[in-house]
A and B are shown apart, each in its own frame.
Chain A
Amino acid sequence: MQLCDTPAHELSILLRKKKISAKEIVESCLERVAAVDGRPGSLDPGENSSQDNQSVHAMITLTAEKALAQAKGLDDKVARGEPLGSLAGVPFTVKDIFCVKDTLTTAASRMLANFRAPYTATTVERMLAQDGLMIGKVNLDEYTFGSSNESTAFQPAPRNPWDTNRVPGGSSGGSAASVAAGEAAISLGTDTAGSIRQPAAFCGVVGIKPTYGRVSRYGLIAFASSLDCPGPLARNVTDAAMLLKAIAGPDRQDATAVTKAVPDYVGVLDQGVKGLRIGLSEDYFKIVYMDAETGEMLQKPVPDEVRAAVYHAAEILKAQGAEIIEDVPMPNTRYAIPAFFVISRVEAASNLHRFDGAKYGYRTAQPKRDLREMYQATRNEAFGLQPKLRILMGMYVSAAQYSEQYYSRALKVRTLIRRDFENVFDPGSSYHLDALLTPTTPTTAFEMGAVYGDSVLMQYADQFTVTANHAGIPGMTFPAGLGADGLPLGVQLLGPDFSEPILLRMGRVFEEGTQAEAWRLQKPQVLRGLA
C-alpha cells in the first residue's frame, strides 16, 4: 500500500515512530494527484478531452509548495523530539468554501475566482495546529448549491473515482473524490442538506455531519447559516473520528458554536454496540416528491439493493448486541425537501448579498452609469445558474407578502421534523432509540449530466439526509457495499444531539464486522490501473 492510501491514524503512528517522514507522505499524495486528478478546475476550460473524462478533477488549487514547506517544518519538529499534534502527518484537502489565509478561496464561483482570504477558518486553523498537512483546496458545487458538483464554475467538474462517467455527488464532491482516490487521507467538507454524506456515500467513504454547533462555522462561506455544518470525510471511521476531534469545540468567533466539552471520539470507538437500540423507518425507504404539474405527492420505493444494504448493516449490528426496532414512524420526512427549499433559499439569498463587486471578488468590466447597474452587471456576469435560481426563489418566498405563506410555514415544518426525532430518541418514549439506520441516498451515483438542470429532482438526492440539518442532529454515512452497477452504497445513522460517539461506535462495529466481505477488496476505477 502506498502512503497516500494508508489510513490517517496509521500514518500518524508511522511518523511518530520515524518510520516515514512527512515529506514522503506529501510526495506520495502529490504523485497520486498527478496520476489521477487531471487538470485542476478553471474558469475557461474549453472542451473536455477523453483524458479529462477519465480523471477525478477534485482540485481547484493544489497547494503543493505549502504542503512541502509544512512537511519540512513537521519533520524538523519530529527530529527535535517536540510534541506533535493529533493530525501529525495526516494529509488533508479542504473544500474550497473555507477561507484559508493567503490562499485562493473561490467557492467554485467566478465571483470569488480571484479572492484571497485574509484570514483562516477556525476548522482549518485547528487542523493545521494539529500538524495536519494541507494538500489542496477541492472543488464543490458553486457556493455549495448542488448535489452533483456539476454546477461548479471551475470545470472540468469532479468525477466519481469509482466510475468517471458518474458524478461524485455534492456539494462536497471534491472532498469525497479526493479522499476516495487517495489524494489525501481526510477532507474537510460542509453539509447543509447532505453535502458531506451524499458525496461520501457516492464515493464509498465515511462522512459525518456533526450536531449543529458542534463545529465552528467561522470562515465557512455561508449557504444557509442555520443548516450549514462543517464535518469530516475519511476512508474509515477512525480517521473520521480523529478529524472530528480536531475540529469540534467552542469558538469565540462563532456564537452558535456550543460550549459543551468535546468527547474523545477516537477513544470510545471500540466500546461496541451492546444494548444500543437502532431503529428502521419505512419513511426512509421511499422517496416522496411532488408532481411538478399537479402538486400531488408521489411515492417511489428505494431500489431493493439500497434496502438490502441497510438491512445487512442492521444484521451486523444486531449480531454485536444491538437491538433493531422496525417500523419507526417518521411522518414528516416527506416535507423535508420542500421546507428546505424555502428556508435555505431565504438564507442563501441574504448570504449572497455581500457579493456585489464593491469590495472584493469579481466586478464587471463594463463601465456603468451608476451603482445599481454595477451591482446588476457584476452579479449577472459572475453568478452561475444555481446562485441565481436560489436568489430568485429566496427573494420571492421572503418578500413581505409571501413570507407568512412560505417562510413561516417552512419554519413550522422544520419544528415538526425535529419533533419526529425527539419522539423516537427521547429516553422516556416507547422507542427510546439511540439511532436511526437509513439509506444515505435513494440511489448510487448518477451519471454526469443525467439530472443536472433539474434542480428539483437533484434535490431529492438529499431527501434522507436533509432531515438531520433541519433537526440539527448528527448524521453519519459509511460505505456498506456495492450496487449492481459496481458503485458504492452508503448507509446512514442519525442520532440525537451530540450522539456522535454512539454513531461512531456503531460505524466502527459495522466496519469490523464486514472486513472480510468481498466488496471491501474492490478499489475505485481510477486506482485499478495503478501500480
Chain B
Amino acid sequence: MSEYELVIGLETHIQLNTVTKIFCACKADSWEMEPNTNICPVCAGLPGVLPVLNEEVLRKGVLLAYAMHSEIRNVSFFDRKNYFYPDLPKGYQITQYDMSLGNGGYMDLFIPEDAGATRRVSITKLHLEEDAGKTKNAGSERLIDFNRCGVPLIEMVTGPDLRSAAEAAQYLTRLRQLLRWLGVSEADMEKGHLRCDANVSIRPVGSTQLFTKTEIKNVNSIENVRSAIELEYERQVREVEAGNRIQAWTLDWDDEKNELKKMRSKETEADYRYFREPDLLPVRLSDEWIQAVLADFPELPLHRKQRFLTDYHLTEYDADLLTTDRQLSEYFESAVKVYGGDPKKIANYLMNDVLRMLNESGKSAADTRLTPQYLADIVKMADAGKINASTAKNLLVKVEASGQAPNEIVAAEGLGQVRDDAAIRAVVEKVIAGNPKEVEAYRAGKESLIGWFTGQVMREMRGKADPKLAQEILKEILGS
C-alpha cells in the first residue's frame, strides 16, 4: 500500500462568533434554542425583505484573511448562489463568488513526523457567506429549522496540498487554535462552529497528477476527520488494486458506526447562476479602515512559541503548551514580568497546577481570580521560604476560590512557614514519643521511614513547618 500517496484538500466552514447574524439583528448563536424561535422576516427570507451587512463580520473576516496571508481586497462583492432547498428560505444563498474578501493565502504547518519540516498549505478560497437552516426527517414529514439561517460564515478552502490524515488533522488543530486566538470563532467542531469536508484522492508516489477525488462530509471532530481519511485511503487503494476506477462520490461520515457511507454519486457540476447581489453595495474597505482593524492584531501562536523558546528558555514542550491558548500565553507572560525570576518556575506552576484548576472549573486564563500578579506573589513567597511548597499549592486554590490576595490569606490563616527550631523540635519530640514502634524500626535500619516521620510532623503543624528543617531535626534526634 505504501506506493500510494494521499492527496487531501480541506473545505472548512467557520462560524463567526459575532453577536448578531450577518444580515439582520437576530442573535447569531441559537445553540439549544427551540426551532424557529431565533428568526425574523429577513433571515426567514420573507417576500420584500433586504439584507444589511453586519460590519463586525467584515472585521473578523479581515483578521482571519490577514492571519492566512490572504490579500485583503479593497473592493469585494456579494453574489447570489441560486438553488432550491427547503433550508434555504430565499432560494439563493448570499455568498461571495469571484471577488471575495480574501484572495489566496496559505498556512505553514510543522509536520511532527518529520521534525523541522514545514508544509505550506495554500488557500484557494476565503469568502464570507450566510449559513442555511437545518432540515430533518420525522416520519413522513420534513421539518425545517431556520434558526441557523443568516449565521455568518467564512468558507475557506485549501489547495490539494495535504499528504496524510495526520497532516489534515494538524491543519485543523492549527486552524482551530488560530480562530480562537484571533477571537473570530468559538471553533467548536462538535457544535458545528468549525465544519470540515475533506476531498480525498490517491496517486502513485512520485506522480504529480490529480486523480478523481471523493468528498467526505459531516465529520464533526478532528479525530474523526483523521479516521475518515484513513478509511477512505484504504478503500481507494483497495479499489485501485482490484482494478476499479475511483468514482467521484460524496461520502457521509457515520458518527456512531465510525464508517463512511456513500451519499450520492456526484453528477455534473450544478449551475448556481451566480450573479452580483443587487441588494447589497460593493464592500469597500479603505486602507485606513483595514489598518485600524489590524491595529491590535496579536502575535500569532507559532511566533509567540518561538519567542518563548528564545526569551524564556522554555522547553519545546512547555512553549507549545503555553501557546495553545492566547489567554494562557498572555497570562504566562504577565506573570513572568511581575515575578522577575526564573520563567520556568512560573511555567511549572502554570502547567502543573493552574491549568488543572482551570480545566476543572472550565474557566479561561483570562477570567481566573488568580491573577498573574497573585501567582507571582505566591511563587515569590515560596522562594523566600515564607511558605512551603505544599502551602503554595493550596494557596493557588484558595486565591482562586476567594479572590483574596495571597499574602492576606497567609496572614489571616497563619500559613507562614515555621522555621523556629524550638517549635519544630518540640513537635518532633512529641511524634517520636508517640510512635515507639516506628522509632525502633528506623533505628534498626529502616531509614526510609524518615519520610513518614516528616509527614507526621508536617501534619501536626498543619503544613506550616519548613519540611527540610523538620527532617534535619528528626534525623538528629532519631540518630542520637
User: B84 — which chain A residues lie within 8 A by C-beta?
Assistant: 353, 356, 372, 375
Q: Please determine whether A218 and B275 come into contact, CB atoms closer than 8 angstroms.
A: no
Q: Interface digits, B40-76 against A, CB 8 Å rule (1 contact, 0 not)?
A: 0110111111111100000000000000000000000
Q: How far is the CA of A218 from the CA of B50 in the complex (A)?
A: 6
**What are 7 of the A-B contact pairs (CB < 8 Å)?**
A99-B46, A99-B47, A219-B49, A350-B82, A354-B89, A356-B86, A371-B86
Known A119-B41, A375-B84: A253·B48 in contact at CB below 8 Å: no
Q: Please determine whether A117 and B48 come into contact, CB atoms closer than 8 angstroms.
A: yes
Q: How far is the CA of A360 from the CA of B44 in the complex (A)?
A: 11
Interface residues of B in 112-156 (CB under 8 A from A): 142, 144
Q: Please determine whether B82 and A118 come into contact, CB atoms closer than 8 angstroms.
A: no
Q: How far is the CA of A350 from the CA of B82 in the complex (A)?
A: 7
Q: Please determine whether A222 and B80 come into contact, CB atoms closer than 8 angstroms.
A: no
Q: Interface digits, B77-88 against A, CB 8 Å rule (1 contact, 0 not)?
A: 000101010100
Q: Please determine whether A359 and B278 come into contact, CB atoms closer than 8 angstroms.
A: no
Known A255-B280, A350-B82, A353-B84: A217·B50 in contact at CB below 8 Å: yes
Q: Please determine whether A353 and B46 come into contact, CB atoms closer than 8 angstroms.
A: no
Number of A-B contacts (CB under 8 A): 101
Q: Please determine whether B271 and A400 come into contact, CB atoms closer than 8 angstroms.
A: yes
Contact of B91 with A by CB under 8 A: yes
Which of B47, B142, B271 sits near A105, CB closer than 8 Å? B47
Q: Please determine whether A222 and B89 come into contact, CB atoms closer than 8 angstroms.
A: no
Q: Closest CB-CB distance, A8 to chain B, in whole Å?
A: 26
Q: How far is the CA of A28 from the CA of B11 in the complex (A)?
A: 65
Q: Please determine whether A112 and B50 come into contact, CB atoms closer than 8 angstroms.
A: no
Contact of A417 with B by CB under 8 A: no
Q: Please determine whether A255 and B47 come into contact, CB atoms closer than 8 angstroms.
A: no
Contact of A468 with B by CB under 8 A: no
User: B50 — which chain A residues lie within 8 A by C-beta?
Assistant: 217-218, 253-256
Extra contacts, 4 of them, besides A350-B91, A359-B89 (Cβ < 8 A), are A255-B52, A256-B281, A350-B80, A354-B45
Contact of B273 with A by CB under 8 A: yes
Q: Closest CB-CB distance, B40 to chain A, in whole Å?
A: 9
User: B144 — which chain A residues lie within 8 A by C-beta?
Assistant: 358-359
Q: Please determine whether A112 and B47 come into contact, CB atoms closer than 8 angstroms.
A: yes
Contact of B90 with A by CB under 8 A: yes
Q: How far is the CA of A359 from the CA of B39 in the complex (A)?
A: 13
Q: Please determine whether B47 and A117 come into contact, CB atoms closer than 8 angstroms.
A: yes
Q: Interface digits, B20-46 against A, CB 8 Å rule (1 contact, 0 not)?
A: 000000000000000000000110111
Interface centre among B42, B53, B278 (most CB of A within 10 A): B278
Q: Interface digits, A346-375 against B, CB 8 Å rule (1 contact, 0 not)?
A: 110110111110111000000000011001
Q: How far is the CA of A377 from the CA of B90 in the complex (A)?
A: 18
Contact of B279 with A by CB under 8 A: yes
Q: Please determine whether B46 and A225 come into contact, CB atoms closer than 8 angstroms.
A: no
Contact of B92 with A by CB under 8 A: yes
Q: Interface digits, A92-126 against B, CB 8 Å rule (1 contact, 0 not)?
A: 00000011000001010000100101110100000
Contact of A287 with B by CB under 8 A: no
Contact of A15 with B by CB under 8 A: no
Q: How far is the CA of A115 from the CA of B41 in the complex (A)?
A: 13
Interface residues of A in 197-231 (CB under 8 A from B): 217-222, 224-226
Known A350-B82, A353-B90, A399-B273: A98·B48 in contact at CB below 8 Å: yes
User: A375 — which chain B residues lie within 8 A by C-beta?
Assistant: 84
Q: Please determine whether B48 and A222 come into contact, CB atoms closer than 8 angstroms.
A: yes
Q: How far is the CA of A102 from the CA of B236 in the complex (A)?
A: 58
Q: Please determine whether A107 and B53 come into contact, CB atoms closer than 8 angstroms.
A: no
Interface centre among B49, B84, B90 (most CB of A within 10 A): B49
Q: Closest CB-CB distance, A244 to chain B, in whole Å?
A: 20
Known A255-B281, A350-B82: A371·B142 in contact at CB below 8 Å: yes
Q: Please determine whether A360 and B48 come into contact, CB atoms closer than 8 angstroms.
A: no
Q: Please determine whether B271 and A225 come into contact, CB atoms closer than 8 angstroms.
A: no
Question: Residue of B at shortest CB range from A361?
Answer: B47
Interface centre among A117, A121, A398 (most CB of B within 10 A): A398
Which 10 residue pairs spanning A and B have beta carbons closest together? Answer: A353-B91, A226-B278, A225-B278, A398-B273, A221-B47, A219-B48, A99-B48, A354-B91, A221-B48, A354-B90
User: A346 — which chain B residues lie within 8 A by C-beta?
Assistant: 273, 275
Q: Closest CB-CB distance, B23 to chain A, in whole Å?
A: 9
User: B48 — which chain A residues lie within 8 A by C-beta?
Assistant: 98-99, 105, 117, 121, 218-222
Q: Please determine whether A118 and B41 come into contact, CB atoms closer than 8 angstroms.
A: yes
User: A254 — which chain B residues lie within 8 A by C-beta?
Assistant: 50, 52
User: B52 — which chain A residues lie within 8 A by C-beta?
Assistant: 252-255
Q: Which residues of B line the A interface, CB within 8 A?
A: 41-42, 44-53, 80, 82, 84, 86, 89-92, 142, 144, 271, 273, 275, 278-281
Known A218-B49, A221-B47, A360-B46: A347·B273 in contact at CB below 8 Å: no
User: A224 — which chain B residues lie within 8 A by C-beta?
Assistant: 278
Q: How far is the CA of A400 from the CA of B52 in the complex (A)?
A: 28
Which of B47, B51, B275 sits near A115, CB closer than 8 Å? B47
Q: How far is the CA of A253 from the CA of B53 in the complex (A)?
A: 10
Q: How far is the CA of A112 from the CA of B279 in the complex (A)?
A: 22
Question: Residue of B at shortest CB range from A252?
Answer: B52
Q: Please determine whether B273 and A395 come into contact, CB atoms closer than 8 angstroms.
A: yes
Question: Residue of B at shortest CB range from A371?
Answer: B86
User: A352 — which chain B residues lie within 8 A by C-beta?
Assistant: 91
Q: Please determine whether A350 and B280 come into contact, CB atoms closer than 8 angstroms.
A: no
Contact of A403 with B by CB under 8 A: yes
Question: Residue of A at shortest CB range from B270?
Answer: A400
Q: Interface digits, A327-356 against B, CB 8 Å rule (1 contact, 0 not)?
A: 000000000000000000011011011111
Contact of A285 with B by CB under 8 A: no
Question: Residue of A at shortest CB range from B280?
Answer: A255
User: A222 — which chain B residues lie within 8 A by C-beta?
Assistant: 48, 279
Q: How far is the CA of A495 from the CA of B144 in the complex (A)?
A: 48
Contact of A421 with B by CB under 8 A: no
User: B53 — which chain A residues lie within 8 A by C-beta?
Assistant: 255
User: B279 — which chain A residues lie within 8 A by C-beta?
Assistant: 222, 225, 255-256
Q: Please determine whether B273 and A350 come into contact, CB atoms closer than 8 angstroms.
A: yes
Contact of A284 with B by CB under 8 A: no
Contact of A145 with B by CB under 8 A: no
User: B280 — which chain A residues lie within 8 A by C-beta?
Assistant: 255-256
Contact of A407 with B by CB under 8 A: yes
Q: How far is the CA of A226 from the CA of B273 in the complex (A)?
A: 17
Q: How far is the CA of A78 from the CA of B46 in the complex (A)?
A: 37
User: A218 — which chain B residues lie within 8 A by C-beta?
Assistant: 48-50
Question: Residue of A at shortest CB range from B271?
Answer: A400
Q: Please determine whether A399 and B92 come into contact, CB atoms closer than 8 angstroms.
A: no
Q: How far is the CA of A346 from the CA of B275 in the complex (A)?
A: 8
Q: Please determine whether A117 and B46 come into contact, CB atoms closer than 8 angstroms.
A: yes
User: A119 — which chain B residues lie within 8 A by C-beta?
Assistant: 41, 46
Which of A255, A350, A372 sits near B51, CB closer than 8 Å? A255
Question: Residue of A at shortest CB range from B144?
Answer: A358
User: B42 — which chain A residues lie within 8 A by C-beta?
Assistant: 253
Interface residues of A in 58-107 (CB under 8 A from B): 98-99, 105, 107
Q: How far is the CA of A253 from the CA of B278 in the complex (A)?
A: 14
User: B91 — which chain A residues lie within 8 A by C-beta?
Assistant: 350, 352-356
Interface centre among A356, A358, A395 (most CB of B within 10 A): A358
User: A115 — which chain B residues lie within 8 A by C-beta?
Assistant: 47
Question: Residue of B at shortest CB range from A111?
Answer: B47
Q: Closest CB-CB distance, A355 to chain B, in whole Å?
A: 8
Question: Residue of B at shortest CB range from A121?
Answer: B48
Q: Closest CB-CB distance, A248 to chain B, in whole Å?
A: 17
Q: Please determine whether A107 and B47 come into contact, CB atoms closer than 8 angstroms.
A: yes
Q: How far is the CA of A220 from the CA of B280 in the complex (A)?
A: 15
Q: How far is the CA of A513 from the CA of B120 in the complex (A)?
A: 76
Question: Residue of B at shortest CB range from A120?
Answer: B48
User: B271 — which chain A residues lie within 8 A by C-beta?
Assistant: 399-400
User: A105 — which chain B residues lie within 8 A by C-beta?
Assistant: 47-48
Interface residues of A in 245-259 (CB under 8 A from B): 252-256
Q: Please determine whether B275 and A353 come into contact, CB atoms closer than 8 angstroms.
A: no
Question: Residue of B at shortest CB range from A119?
Answer: B41
Q: Please determine whether B281 and A358 come into contact, CB atoms closer than 8 angstroms.
A: no
Q: How far is the CA of A252 from the CA of B144 in the complex (A)?
A: 29
User: B90 — which chain A residues lie within 8 A by C-beta?
Assistant: 353-354
Q: How far is the CA of A209 from the CA of B49 in the complex (A)?
A: 21
